[in-house]
Structure 1
Amino acid sequence: MTFQLSVTELANMVDHTLLKADAQKAGFEKLCQEADEYGFKMVAINSAPVALCSELLKESPVHVGAAIGFPLGQTTIAAKVFEVADAIKNGADEIDYVINIGELKEGNLAYIEQEMKKIVAACQANNVLSKVILENCYLTNEEKIAVCEIAKRVKPDFVKTSTGFGTGGATIADVKLMKETVGAEVKIKAAGGIRDFATAKAMVEAGAERLGTSSGIKIINEYKSFVKEA
């Protein structure tokens, strides 16, 4: 299969990520500058630096994405909804939230659906994109399918493979499984362990339409070399 995306199109699928606990102002300034320079879709950050990044990117088409309930998902629905509202107030125009993995493992699908409905509704009311993080490394295929089937009903913009902080990241098998389940109803974001162009290409070919990575610059530079040599 020939990879059809241009360098610009691939860059516009990248969520440029800085989610480290010790991240500081200079790091966020660099992140935003790089995202604008390379034409990445979004900067993926925790909710505290949203106002800073929103100000830094106010003249740029790059989106500001807040990670909610991150990375464990073990906060209440009310806390997550509050964090979503606070992030949006501070300038976030995309939200990536982590589901309550424990409730899913307990088989409490009604809780997962209620959580998703409330967060997606809060995003839709503000014209903000919503992404649901499953953290697949902890889930059975049946559990992954169950969340994706809920997503088909609730209609967030994306379902996402991983936080990058679990015991494993995105896999081709998971991206394919998620895409097969949601079909055209919801898009797929692959994140976690995407560190080179070969991996990024494989994720896109499996069905991912966004890539969460801190290696976006390396990926794009590798693709530029690949295109030049082709």
Structure 2
Amino acid sequence: MKISRYLDVAVLKPQMCQQEITDAIMEAVREEVYSVCVRPCDIELAVELCRGTNTKVSCVLDFPHGDSTAEGKRALAELYAEKGAAEIDMVMNYGYARSGKWAEAEEGIRGVVEAAAAYGVEVKVILETCELTEQEIKEATKASIRAGAAYVKTSTGFAKQGTSAGAVRTMLDAAGGKIKVKASGGIRDYETAKSYVELGAERLGVGYGSIRTICDGEN
């Protein structure tokens, strides 16, 4: 297991200047992480910095609250795919999920998946599991499967809590092998990262400040 190939490195703090963004992306590229996950305004910069490397560019959509309309989410997905994002991490409307409005939540996911698919872009659905019950996490995972998403993801990293082993287990059980699972939020060292991979997560969302600690921990 080369841990860096499981990492999606988040470069998302709203106050970051362009030099800080560049420095974070270049460190991620040096460690050969799977992707850098950037703000929409930084897609083009990230594409340029990652060109010719082993690191892809992903971006967040409707982040961090997920409360745009289905039409808005779809339009943004097309825009970000056109700019060169290889993957999109979208936030599900978890207020809808908590309200039992599953058709509406699923519609928002499906629009992003359909728009992104035209460009060969995979979609990860952020559930914000700390805001959901176990049953809601299961239903959200099933809605993401029906909508055609590639992954379900635990957390934005901007809520009251990040990922948990319990949430990942619930998602994996509900997934039934039909969708991949990404653990994200609060993973800051190699042992924690390794534990989520061993649990069954196929991708890990980590902050740019934790890259070296996680990768050095494997050596």
Distance 2:62 2:144 in 1: 18
Distance 1:181 1:51 in 2: 36
- Aligned partner of residue 88 in structure 2, secondary structure: strand
Partner of 1:64: 57
Q: How many residues align?
A: 217
Distance 1:207 1:183 in 2: 12
Question: Which one of 218, 221, 225 corresponds to residue 213 of structure 2?
Answer: 218
Structure with greater Cα Rg: 1
Alignment of 1:23 onto 2:16: yes
TM-score, normalisation: structure 2: 0.96
Partner of 2:28: 35
**Structure 1 runs (4+) greater than 3 angstroms displaced:** none
Alignment of 1:53 onto 2:83: no
Shift of 1:32: 2.0
Shift of 1:201: 1.2
Alignment of 1:174 onto 2:167: yes
- Aligned partner of residue 218 in structure 2, secondary structure: helix
Question: Which one of 118, 121, 125 corresponds to residue 118 of structure 2?
Answer: 125
Tell whether the 8 Å contact from 2:11 to 2:25 is kept in structure 1 after alignment: no
Cα deviation, 1:5-47, whole Å, max 9, x if unaligned, reads 1xxx311110111110111111121122112111101001111
Alignment of 1:111 onto 2:104: yes
Partner of 1:86: 79
Larger mean Cα displacement after TM superposition, 147-156 or 20-29: 147-156
Question: Which one of 88, 92, 104 corresponds to residue 95 of structure 1?
Answer: 88
Distance 2:46 2:175 in 1: 32
Q: Unpaired runs of 5+ in structure 1?
A: 225-230
- Aligned partner of residue 131 in structure 1, secondary structure: strand
Q: Unpaired runs of 5+ in structure 2?
A: none
Question: Which one of 4, 13, 18 corresponds to residue 6 of structure 2?
Answer: 13
- Aligned partner of residue 149 in structure 1, secondary structure: helix
Cα deviation, 1:170-206, whole Å, max 9, x if unaligned, reads 0011111101110211111100000111111111111
Tell whether the 8 Å contact from 1:133 to 1:163 is kept in structure 2 after alignment: yes
Shift of 1:117: 1.1
Tell whether the 8 Å contact from 1:155 to 1:185 is kept in structure 2 after alignment: no
Larger mean Cα displacement after TM superposition, 53-62 or 95-104: 53-62
Shift of 1:125: 1.4
Question: Which one of 130, 134, 141 corresponds to residue 134 of structure 2?
Answer: 141
Tell whether the 8 Å contact from 2:109 to 2:147 is kept in structure 1 after alignment: yes
TM-score, normalisation: structure 1: 0.91
Partner of 2:157: 164
Tell whether the 8 Å contact from 2:57 to 2:85 is kept in structure 1 after alignment: yes
Tell whether the 8 Å contact from 2:73 to 2:111 is kept in structure 1 after alignment: no
Identity among equivalent pairs (%)? 33
Partner of 1:228: none
What letter is aligned with 2:158? F
Tell whether the 8 Å contact from 2:61 to 2:76 is kept in structure 1 after alignment: yes
